[in-house]
Chains A and B, each alone.
Chain A
Amino acid sequence: MNWTTVDTTLRLAGITSMILLLIGTPVAYWLTFSKRRWKFLVESVVALPLVLPPTVLGFYVIVALGPQSLLGEWIERIFGHRLPFTFEGLVVASVLYSFPFAVQPLTAAFGNVDRKLIEASWTLGVSKMATFFRIIIPQAWAGVLTGAVLSFAHTVGEFGVVLMVGGNIEGVTRTISIEIYDEVQSFNFDTAGQTALVLLIFSFAVLSVIYAVNRNVWAIRPDLYREKHTPHAG
């Protein structure tokens, strides 16, 4: 295991899932509660990375962030450097690529919150924003956790987009999945095998947590489980 690569990967995944929670939450809220007729178009855009080949997404990110585009030019003026083949560029690409993995669990969780609870809060004079933090988030925390964990894990496991946008620069843009590819190319099957096993175990652990949280609260919060299943007194 190359710890520089592990560090790069975890930093990338951590920052990506944090940004995704910040951006994804308002988007998911809008998708859940908006009554706009063209909502399905936004939903489709959000889901695009699920079906798009990573190379296509990576290609557009490079073009959009490159010096020929207005956006790229503007970014270069502000940050002093271009984004392709940098860590920041990788973050932008990862955020786009993992977008549905954050937004979809959030949307599902917000949609499952009893609408009456939200309305009750409104009639009690509590603003929409405060209602979101005091009612929706406590009711939908499993979805928030799922969104964060899924986008983290998905970023750890991405390959094509990282290669397209980040290149393969050690300590900057080389992630675990790319390292495994490199090792296999160099016939270092032992090292590749070790790293692959770590990723396999990591992914399994992540998915187990998510399924446990969403299926059965008891798995991690026995106190909540008991309350939910106490028969009504009288």
Chain B
Amino acid sequence: MPDNLIVDVDKAYPRGPRIRAKFSMPTDGGHVGILFGLSGSGKTTVLRCVAGLEHLTAGRIVFNGEMWADVDQGVMVPPQRRGVGYVFQEYALFPHLTVEQNIGYAIREGSKTQRRERIEELIQLMQLSGTEGRRPSTLSGGQQQRVALARALARKPHLLLLDEPLSALDLPTRIRLRTELRTLLRTIDIPALMITHDWSEALYLGDSVVVMADGGVLQTGSPFEVFAKPTRPEVASLVGVDNLIPGHVVRRETGLADVRLNTQTVVAYDPESDGFESCYACIRGENVALERTPATSSSARNHLLGHVIEIQPSGQLDRVVVDVGFRLVALVTPLSVRELGLKEGEPVTATIKATAIHLIPR
């Protein structure tokens, strides 16, 4: 029996958007798949289709060889019989039941003692001791999230579906629970499909990523691969590439390409694909180094002369916008900005390694 989840979903809402997504992910070894994209990209619809909460317009869903939905064959396994654990974005805890009753809601098998033990086990696992008799509305956001996870795990699901499980939390709690969630997902050995629009969550929690936008899939792969080598300009901007500059390849030689970007030519790593000429150059701001005097010798291939247009403070790093024949954003520490005495209009040299320039065919 194949250990994978095959999703080939086409869902059209009357007078609404149409969502189409096709991907598959392994389900062995507690694999965590990430559905990544902005809100409105159709992620939740895909998750609801997998859970059986939406009827497909066309397509099919197969889990470990088991047909969950197939429009052509008229198969639609109801959510009750799919054995998934679904964690809703706002948790959807039953407000009229206590923590204990919420967790035990679905446990039906076994004697009363066995059921009690299972609930106790989950309460221990999710560190909820002391809240057993409380109603969900009296719990903190983090506690509610843990109750939702415990409830979803109670029936030992075959697949865990998580709809932005951390988005309803404040930042410090989110970062703490992210670590807990990762530990949990690594421990329980249940495959999971999780929605997020936060790229750091995808990198931290995911084994594979499906990037969605406008009701379709743009790219799939490992989080690092998608992060480092987006194949589409839309993906590049989704994963936070600061510079996406249109240009074209003028020369190729031994794995390197000379790329014309406006009035400047840079040397970039050549991905050796189909010999495209029109392209986008993706450059992450943190991979651009700024210097006042051009380095005399350096392993970096690109030393671009230009001047500072603007300095935008943005948290830990400042965004320094420079004109080097094209508009380039560099991310530099405020300390460096002070030490280099960077100011608007001042001359500056931007240094970029060829391998830090990723080319996407246009």
Number of interface residues of A (CB under 8 A): 22
Number of interface residues of B (CB under 8 A): 34
Contact across chains for B135 and A227 when beta carbons are under 8 A apart: yes
Contact across chains for A124 and B105 when beta carbons are under 8 A apart: yes
Q: Which parts of B82-132 form the interface with A (CB within 8 Å)?
A: 82-86, 88, 90, 92, 94-96, 105-106, 108
B139 within 8 A of A: yes
| A-binding residues in B (CB < 8 A) | 51-53, 78-86, 88, 90, 92, 94-96, 105-106, 108, 135, 137-143, 151-152, 154-155, 161
| B-binding residues in A (CB < 8 A) | 114, 116-117, 119-127, 134-135, 138-139, 227-228, 230, 232-234
Contact across chains for B155 and A230 when beta carbons are under 8 A apart: no
**Least CB distance, B95 to chain A, in whole angstroms:** 8
In the complex, which residue of chain A has the Cβ closest to the Cβ of B82?
A123
| Residue numbers in B under 8 Å from A139 (CB-CB) | 95-96
| Residue numbers in A under 8 Å from B152 (CB-CB) | 123-124
| Residue numbers in A under 8 Å from B83 (CB-CB) | 125
Contact across chains for A233 and B140 when beta carbons are under 8 A apart: yes
Contact across chains for A119 and B105 when beta carbons are under 8 A apart: no
In the complex, which residue of chain B has the Cβ closest to the Cβ of A138?
B96
Contact across chains for B141 and A232 when beta carbons are under 8 A apart: yes
| Residue numbers in A under 8 Å from B151 (CB-CB) | 120, 124
CA distance A114 to B137 in the complex (A): 15
CA distance A134 to B104 in the complex (A): 13
Contact across chains for A135 and B94 when beta carbons are under 8 A apart: yes
A–B pairs, 20, beta carbons within 8 Å: A116-B88, A116-B90, A119-B53, A119-B88, A120-B151, A121-B94, A122-B52, A123-B82, A124-B105, A124-B155, A125-B81, A125-B155, A134-B105, A139-B96, A227-B138, A230-B138, A232-B137, A232-B141, A233-B138, A234-B142
CA distance A230 to B92 in the complex (A): 18
| Residue numbers in B under 8 Å from A232 (CB-CB) | 137-141
Checking B90, B95, B106 against A125 with a beta-carbon cut-off of 8 angstroms, the contacting residue is B106
| Residue numbers in A under 8 Å from B78 (CB-CB) | 122
Pick the most buried of A124, A126, A233: most chain B CB atoms within 10 A of its CB. A124
In the complex, which residue of chain A has the Cβ closest to the Cβ of B144?
A232
CA distance A233 to B141 in the complex (A): 8
| Residue numbers in A under 8 Å from B80 (CB-CB) | 122-123, 125-127
CA distance A127 to B81 in the complex (A): 10
CA distance A38 to B51 in the complex (A): 28
CA distance A123 to B50 in the complex (A): 11
Contact across chains for A122 and B53 when beta carbons are under 8 A apart: yes
CA distance A125 to B52 in the complex (A): 11
Contact across chains for B137 and A234 when beta carbons are under 8 A apart: no
In the complex, which residue of chain B has the Cβ closest to the Cβ of A116?
B92
| Residue numbers in A under 8 Å from B139 (CB-CB) | 232-233
Pick the most buried of A122, A135, A138, A139: most chain B CB atoms within 10 A of its CB. A122
**Least CB distance, A141 to chain B, in whole angstroms:** 9
Indicate whether A126 sits within 8 Å of B90 (C-beta atoms), given known contacts A227-B135, A232-B137.
no
**Least CB distance, B173 to chain A, in whole angstroms:** 8
Checking A116, A138, A234 against B141 with a beta-carbon cut-off of 8 angstroms, the contacting residue is A234
